[in-house]
Structure 1
Amino acid sequence: MPDPPPETRQDLRDLSIRLILLLGAASLCGSLVSNGARSVTGPYILLLGGSAAIVGLVAGAGEFIGYALRSATGIYVGKNHRYWKAATAGYGLLAAIPLLAVAGRWETAAALIVAERIGKAVRTPARDTILSHATTAVGRGWGFGVHKALDQVGAVAGPLVMAAALAVTGGYGVGFLLLGIPLAGVAVALFLAQSEVPRPGRLEGEGEGNRDNLPGIVPYAAFVFLGMAGFASFPLISFHLKAQSIVPDAAIPLFYAAAMTVSVAVALLVGRAFDRIGTHVLLTIPALSIATVALAFSPEPGAAVAGSLVWGAGIGIFEPVLRASIAESTALDRRGKVYGSVSAVFGTAWFVGSAVMGVLYDVSIGHIVAYVVIVEAAAIAAYLWMCRSRIVVRLQEGLGEIIP
């Protein structure tokens, strides 16, 4: 049954908030499942016989496939507008996580990890497009920031579940099985959200969002690629913590939970910051990336904790601003495609960065730091290129208004 139109602007705002919160609840439960597993994939693969290079390649391949496929799924939802169908199918692949409990080889575990990432590729462009409609009435940055914060609450809870299971049982199997329980919460939240707003496009009024203002897709994509190529993956960080015996196994998920706690607060703050100063908040990413590798790969537990927290701050900044800026700058009929395409760049960068850092780890940590410094310096140059492109676009628009 189609949803009736809101009678007032306040009705529209209230409906948008409810949709954001319901999608946030679905992401919270889903993130609990996926991040609970991701907090230990490094040491788990090591336990099953994998090496540092394999951890880096699996983490990078999972992210690459998960993001690269978003280009195709973004085109699909952009043409067919089957947002809820794609979101539901993608969340369903979270069922791969409990199956890690019975993976006896690192190859099997790797396949399940990649399957879960494929599910994220299927659901994310659809979910983000729905959110882009819902954030019209409440502020792009605030809406995506609240959703990210809720998502990160799950990212905190998941590692705590895994840490408790490790502490009690000494093994990973029970933890992976426990992570299957929140899948019911995902299903309920998605059902309620779709029932509330079957056609999310109606939340963005006619005439709104029908114009492209993205300041050049090439410099924008270049910054995204370089910024993420220098951003370390937590599976490699957790591998380092176990391989060097810096902390006990049961403490590694707690490091991840602490990082996710930081990302919750940062996501809320950066959402408000975006609504005021726009994409300039992205300039913090290069600094955070360099600080992460300098601290997280230290042999000292205190520095490793600090590095994990800095890593969490980076997670809290990048995704909300990326998603909000696309929603703000892309026309409705192209938004799903752009979300998918930029996500593919994002994932390719994560694959390249994770693979390179995994290989460099076997050489020396100093090589990782040098690589990140070089890549992030190039990211700053790409950001300046992006700003210059924005100025050119605005000048052309101004001349177009003066000279018909």
Structure 2
Amino acid sequence: MAPESDRPPVPASRMSAWRFIVWFGIVAMLADVVYEGARSITGPLLAHLGASALVVGVVTGVGESAALLLRLVSGPLTDRSGRFWGWTLAGYGLTVVSVPLLGLASVLWVASALVIAERVGKAVRSPAKDTLLSHATAVTGRGRGFAVHEALDQVGALAGPLLVAGVLAASGGDYTPALLVLAVPGALAFALVVWLRAQVPRPEGYEAELELPPAAGLGVDPTEEPGSAPARLPGRFWAYASFAGLTMVGFSTFGVISFHLVTDGVLSAAAVPLVYAAVMVVDALAALLTGWLYDRHGASVLVLLPVVAAAVPALAFSGSVQVAVAGALAWGVALGVQESTLRATVADLVPRGRRATAYGLFGAVIGVAAAAGGALAGGLYGVSVPLLVTVTVLLQVAALLVLLVTLHRGRPSVDAGLQA
């Protein structure tokens, strides 16, 4: 069978770009119900099967590493094969099969393998999925398109753990029905992807019909055809990835924040999930707002990210309930920008023929930086909160400088394009 990119052009107009984005967002929402629901009880489940804290840490750590670092492989392979829908289907299929099987696992090594397999599914589909989505967002506006997708995604991130918690309560703590019930949204998600592929077999048709201007502030021509794409990703992409990596290294994880809230007696353990739910709402709202601002004002809106991230530890690690909760909500604002507008910008930095590769590399950079940031925040928190705040501010200042230099270098190209 010929690669998807080599097949005769099929109009993407069977479905509007906005409808495509919304339906893809519903897919992401259903998939989030599945894997976020499972991840909410992964630790207790493995412990129930005899795992120690070390084993739980190793298994989940390997899983997260696989979800991010394997994109270095899946991204380039997706670009070379041109089978964007095939990789998307394979990734979702692996996830929606692994999670229900996890509910039937009675041996620790089998359950551990399934936990890792679910994360591998994320690595397999993410570069291809983001590339497919980027074509439709060329019509709607990159920022708004990715933001709507992220907002729907967060609905699933909220619903999944709540669904699992409800089934656990009703079944007296039995993990099997709590995980088997996730087969329903999983099957729906996979069926929707199959349907979307039939409706819009070549989403690049959305973008191919447009004459797009260079990305605001970045000096990039997104209309460059795959055949003319350079052998290497453009330098602006690497500068941007450096900015994103720096800001993530200086970004505390919610795990460290929640640890502080409970161990310092700021909030009870029962109240932390309520704070997290509020954070997810703020995440979605921040994604929508900054996505709209990105489409109106370009990449300069990303200046907001290091500024907000720098404020998070100063607020979140306070002993005051109100201040600490405000810090957690600020964390949600930064997360919303990271999950939507950061991804949208990648599509404006890289030609169509290299986008899956770029998304794979970018995901790996973000993943490694986030892991380093979590370790750094946890380590410094145990030493000195003022030191943690100081280091975070310095890292975010460095990230801001890299972003400003990247934006400045992009402007001459934009000006030249406007004068031509």
Q: What TM-score range do you get, normalising by the shorter chain?
A: 0.7 to 0.9
Aligned position for 2:325? 305
Q: Does 1:223 align with 2:225?
A: no
Q: 1:287: Cα distance to partner?
A: 2.6
Aligned position for 2:82? 81
Please report the TM-score for the alignment, with normalisation by the length of structure 2.
0.79
Q: Does 1:29 align with 2:30?
A: yes
Match 1:125 to one of 114, 124, 127: 127
**1:323–1:97 Cα change, 3 Å:** same
- Whether the aligned pair in 1 keeps the contact of 2:18 and 2:136 (CA below 8 Å) is yes
AA of the residue aligned to 2:88 = A
Give the Cα separation in 2 of the matches to 1:292 and 1:255.
15
Within a 5 Å distance, the mapping from 1:1-400 to structure 2 comes to 5=11, 11=13, 14-38=15-39, 49-50=52-53, 62-94=63-95, 95-98=97-100, 113-164=115-166, 171=173, 173=175, 175-205=178-208, 209-211=222-224, 216-241=236-261, 243=263, 247-394=267-414
Aligned position for 2:214? none
AA of the residue aligned to 2:377 = M
Q: 1:339: Cα distance to partner?
A: 1.6
**1:205–1:326 Cα change, 3 Å:** same
Give the Cα separation in 2 of the matches to 1:373 and 1:297.
14
AA of the residue aligned to 1:15 = S
RMSD: 3.6
**1:269–1:335 Cα change, 3 Å:** same
**1:108–1:261 Cα change, 3 Å:** farther
Give the Cα separation in 2 of the matches to 1:88 and 1:198.
13
How many residue pairs align between the two structures? 393
AA of the residue aligned to 2:130 = D
Give the Cα separation in 2 of the matches to 1:310 and 1:40.
26
Bigger mean CA offset, 144-153 vs 162-171: 162-171
Bigger mean CA offset, 383-392 vs 75-84: 383-392
Larger relative contact order (C-alpha < 8 A, sep ≥ 6)?
Answer: 1
Give the Cα separation in 2 of the matches to 1:351 and 1:142.
28
Q: 1:27: Cα distance to partner?
A: 0.3
**1:24–1:89 Cα change, 3 Å:** same
- Whether the aligned pair in 2 keeps the contact of 1:101 and 1:177 (CA below 8 Å) is yes
Bigger mean CA offset, 179-188 vs 32-41: 32-41
AA of the residue aligned to 2:223 = N
Please give the secondary structure, in 1, of the residue aligned with 2:150: helix
Bigger mean CA offset, 64-73 vs 335-344: 64-73
Report Cα offsets for 1:95-122 as digits up to 9, x if no partner. Answer: 4445666789999877655443322221
Q: 1:318: Cα distance to partner?
A: 1.7
- Whether the aligned pair in 2 keeps the contact of 1:228 and 1:350 (CA below 8 Å) is yes
**1:131–1:340 Cα change, 3 Å:** same
- Whether the aligned pair in 2 keeps the contact of 1:60 and 1:351 (CA below 8 Å) is no
AA of the residue aligned to 2:144 = W
**1:241–1:104 Cα change, 3 Å:** farther
Q: 1:86: Cα distance to partner?
A: 0.9
Q: 1:170: Cα distance to partner?
A: 7.6
**1:144–1:272 Cα change, 3 Å:** same
- Whether the aligned pair in 2 keeps the contact of 1:2 and 1:199 (CA below 8 Å) is no
Q: 1:197: Cα distance to partner?
A: 1.0
Q: 1:359: Cα distance to partner?
A: 3.2
AA of the residue aligned to 1:203 = Y
AA of the residue aligned to 1:67 = L
Report Cα offsets for 1:146-181 as digits up to 9, x if no partner. Answer: 111111111222233345456667858365554444
**1:217–1:4 Cα change, 3 Å:** closer
Q: 1:127: Cα distance to partner?
A: 0.6
Give the Cα separation in 1 of the matches to 2:322 and 2:130.
37
Please give the secondary structure, in 2, of the residue aligned with 1:210: coil
Please give the secondary structure, in 2, of the residue aligned with 1:216: helix
Please give the secondary structure, in 2, of the residue aligned with 1:5: coil
Please give the secondary structure, in 1, of the residue aligned with 2:208: coil
Q: 1:236: Cα distance to partner?
A: 3.5
Give the Cα separation in 2 of the matches to 1:272 and 1:325.
13
- Whether the aligned pair in 2 keeps the contact of 1:16 and 1:138 (CA below 8 Å) is yes
- Whether the aligned pair in 2 keeps the contact of 1:247 and 1:301 (CA below 8 Å) is yes
Q: 1:32: Cα distance to partner?
A: 2.0
- Whether the aligned pair in 2 keeps the contact of 1:144 and 1:323 (CA below 8 Å) is yes
